[in-house]
């Protein structure tokens, strides 16, 4: 049988009859102004049986054949099939660990809890998964003669780090708009090191987003925010990857922190596609976890008093300062996409306070993790759902860890030193200053663990 021709294009996510090629600079539907999504030729993909797809993905996974050893590009036919291989800009993203957290699970009365460590990757967050696709698409457009002077994004920190790194690798100019004083030191230094034009604006993320949307009207500035559905295609591979790591089985639950809500949509899309193409038998249930200080989705779903779905109207809120700075977003651009994913995956929305997210991250760390504050939000929500009996022993849960804890060392140090605003740390571990003598060290050991 000849290899089928795989293809994908943009279409209106709200169902208008609007399509555009992936090489066109277009972010919204020309008919209704709604967001776009990438539509794959599923009939072509179905010509290859599920077992053959699984074998192909496994053979490529973390292997050496550039760029197919990348977690994203190993699934290229499902992501951006027509992209010329020479235009792929890859930093070997994806292929991230799936950890079992047995000691943490036991504390919660559960027995099958896993952490998908999307932060163990080139720039330290899952944003790499989407950015490799977007920057590759830009490289392809430029190769075809499209005038793109620079790629720009507004960011709560991690998007700009990823954009700057991939653009540097490709030799494409990048511009990042950051809310001044609202990103971590590591997040600020990454785009600086990678040579981006780093602009610090005296506003919050929503304020930066507004400006960058206006900027994107400039025809030769390409917009890299997650309203750009190319990024969703790359992030979607995290679902494929974690199902693969579990032997092509869906977990019972996925818990994911949500800010702009692109990643929750991406995870939903990945599972929907795998189910449709027969790679998994059933869908997991999806839990979107929000910080109480930036909770427009939680408020909307609670006010509607119904299961989350596209009928729920999300009203923008003024996001308050939260330790989970990457999700301090009051007007999530992908709210509707996420609500569709929540409806398809029988989902729930919960929230976590500053105290809860900080303690949950520390609790997981005590069992060997090193959770960033956003992962802390997801863990805190898992703890609530376990306490409530919604998630039970015998059910398999995967928590999506969105960034590496090392990007948020201020959060970690502040927790253990007891200096975080609004947090009384329950699991603080203070370092102990001792005299430089054997007796000093022995006394400290005895004080913590008792005499031998
Ligand atoms: C971007 C980001 C999120 C939120 O993802 P959305 O797609 O905006 O919902 C969560 N955690 C971290 C660390 C992030 O960088
Ligand atoms: Zn439309």
Question: Each residue of 146-185: pLDDT tens digit?
Answer: 999 999 999 989 999 999 999 999 999 999 999 999 888 9
Other C-beta atoms closer than 10 Å to the C-beta of 404 total 21
Give the ligand whose atoms come closest to the C-alpha of residue 31.
Answer: 2
Q: Is the CB of 234 under 6 A from ligand 1?
A: no
Other C-beta atoms closer than 10 Å to the C-beta of 291 total 32
Give the ligand whose atoms come closest to the C-alpha of residue 35.
Answer: 2
Return the percentage of the chain with pLDDT > 90, whole number. Answer: 93
CA 256 to ligand 1: nearest atom: 10
- Residue 172 token pair: 């494409």
Tell me which long-range contacts 431-437 makes (C-beta under 8 A, separation of at least 24). Answer: none
- Which pLDDT belongs to residue 49? 98
If you average pLDDT over residues 22-48, what whole number do you get?
A: 94
- Which pLDDT belongs to residue 404? 98
Give the ligand whose atoms come closest to the C-alpha of residue 186.
Answer: 1
Burial of 431 per CB tally in 10 Å (0-12, 13-18, 19+) = exposed
Give the ligand whose atoms come closest to the C-alpha of residue 28.
Answer: 2
Give the ligand whose atoms come closest to the C-alpha of residue 268.
Answer: 1
Average pLDDT, the chain: 96
- Furthest-apart CA pair in the chain: how many Å? 78
C-alpha Rg value of the chain to the nearest Å = 22
Q: Is the CB of 260 under 6 A from ligand 1?
A: yes
- Measuring CA to CA, which residue among 378, 376, 377, 381 is closest to residue 366? 376
- Which pLDDT belongs to residue 182? 87
Listed residues: CB within 5 A of ion ligand 2: 12, 14, 16, 29, 31-32, 34
If you average pLDDT over residues 422-437, what whole number do you get?
A: 96
Q: Is residue 187 pLDDT above 80, yes or no?
A: yes
Mutate to test the pocket of ligand 1, among 402, 404, 407 (most ligand atoms within 8 A of CB): 402
Ligand 1 centre to CA of 241 (Å) is: 18
Phi-psi region of 35 (alpha: psi -120 to 50; beta: other; left: phi over 0): beta
- Which pLDDT belongs to residue 318? 96
Cβ(220)–Cβ(147) below 8 Å: yes
DSSP 304-348: HTS---TTSPPPP--PPP-S-GGG--SS-TTHHHHHHHHHHTT-E
Q: Is the CB of 402 under 6 A from ligand 1?
A: yes
- Measuring CA to CA, which residue among 39, 47, 49, 51 is closest to residue 5? 47
Q: Is residue 340 pLDDT above 90, yes or no?
A: yes
Cβ(197)–Cβ(174) below 8 Å: yes
Of 118-127, 220-229, 243-252, 317-326, the poorest mean pLDDT is in 220-229
- Which pLDDT belongs to residue 2? 67
Determine the 3-state secondary structure of 256 from DSSP: strand
Q: Is the CB of 326 under 6 A from ligand 1?
A: yes
Q: Which fold has domain 98-121+232-417?
A: Rossmann fold (3.40.50)
Ligand 1 centre to CA of 288 (Å) is: 11
Q: Is the CB of 374 under 6 A from ligand 1?
A: yes
Ligand 1 centre to CA of 164 (Å) is: 17
If you average pLDDT over residues 199-210, what whole number do you get?
A: 93
Q: Is the CB of 125 under 6 A from ligand 1?
A: yes
Q: Is residue 1 pLDDT above 60, yes or no?
A: no
Mutate to test the pocket of ligand 1, among 93, 119, 123, 158 (most ligand atoms within 8 A of CB): 158
Question: Each residue of 381-423: pLDDT tens digit?
Answer: 999 999 999 999 999 999 999 999 999 999 999 999 999 999 9
Ligand 2 centre to CA of 278 (Å) is: 29
Q: Is the CB of 160 under 6 A from ligand 1?
A: no
Instruction: Label residue 213 by pLDDT band (50, 70, 90).
Output: confident
């Amino acid at each position: 049988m000849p290899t089928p021709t795989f293809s994908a294009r943009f279409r209106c996510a709200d169902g208008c009859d609007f399509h555009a090629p992936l090489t066109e600079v277009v972010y919204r539907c020309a008919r209704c102004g709604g967001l776009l999504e990438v539509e794959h030729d599923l009939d072509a993909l179905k010509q290859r049986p599920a077992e053959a797809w699984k074998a192909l993905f496994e053979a490529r996974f973390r292997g050496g054949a550039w760029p197919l050893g990348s977690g994203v590009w190993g699934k290229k036919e499902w992501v951006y099939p027509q992209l010329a291989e020479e235009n792929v800009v890859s930093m070997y993203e994806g292929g991230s660990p799936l950890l079992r957290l047995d000691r943490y699970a036991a504390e919660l009365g559960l027995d099958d809890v896993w952490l998908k460590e999307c932060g163990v990757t080139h720039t330290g967050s899952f944003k790499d998964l989407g950015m490799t696709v977007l920057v590759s698409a830009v490289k392809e457009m430029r190769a075809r003669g499209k005038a793109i002077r620079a790629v720009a994004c507004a960011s709560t920190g991690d998007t700009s780090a990823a954009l700057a790194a991939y653009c540097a690798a490709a030799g494409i100019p990048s511009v990042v708009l950051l809310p001044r004083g609202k990103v971590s030191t590591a997040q600020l230094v990454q785009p600086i090191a990678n040579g981006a034009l780093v602009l610090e604006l005296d506003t919050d993320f929503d304020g930066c987003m507004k400006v960058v949307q206006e900027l994107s009207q400039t025809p030769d500035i390409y917009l890299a925010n997650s309203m750009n559905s190319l990024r969703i295609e790359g992030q979607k591979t995290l679902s494929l990857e974690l199902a693969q790591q579990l032997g092509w089985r869906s977990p019972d639950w996925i818990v994911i922190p949500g800010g702009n809500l692109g990643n929750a949509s991406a995870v939903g899309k990945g599972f929907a596609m795998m189910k449709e193409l027969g790679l998994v038998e059933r869908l997991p249930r999806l839990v979107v976890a929000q910080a109480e200080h930036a909770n427009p989705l939680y408020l909307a779903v609670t006010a509607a008093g119904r299961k989350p779905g596209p009928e729920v109207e999300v009203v923008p809120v003024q996001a308050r300062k939260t330790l989970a700075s990457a999700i301090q977003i009051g007007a999530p651009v992908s709210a509707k996409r996420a609500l569709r994913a929540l409806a398809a995956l029988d989902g729930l929305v919960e929230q976590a306070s500053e105290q809860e997210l900080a303690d949950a991250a520390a609790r997981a760390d005590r069992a060997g993790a090193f959770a960033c504050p956003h992962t802390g939000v997801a863990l805190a929500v898992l703890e609530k759902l376990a306490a409530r009996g919604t998630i039970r022993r015998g059910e398999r849960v995967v928590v999506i860890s969105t960034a590496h804890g090392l990007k948020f060392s201020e959060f970690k140090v502040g927790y253990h030193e007891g200096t975080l605003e609004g947090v009384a740390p329950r699991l603080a571990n203070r370092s102990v200053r001792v005299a430089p003598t054997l007796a000093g060290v022995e006394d400290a050991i005895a004080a913590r663990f008792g005499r031998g």
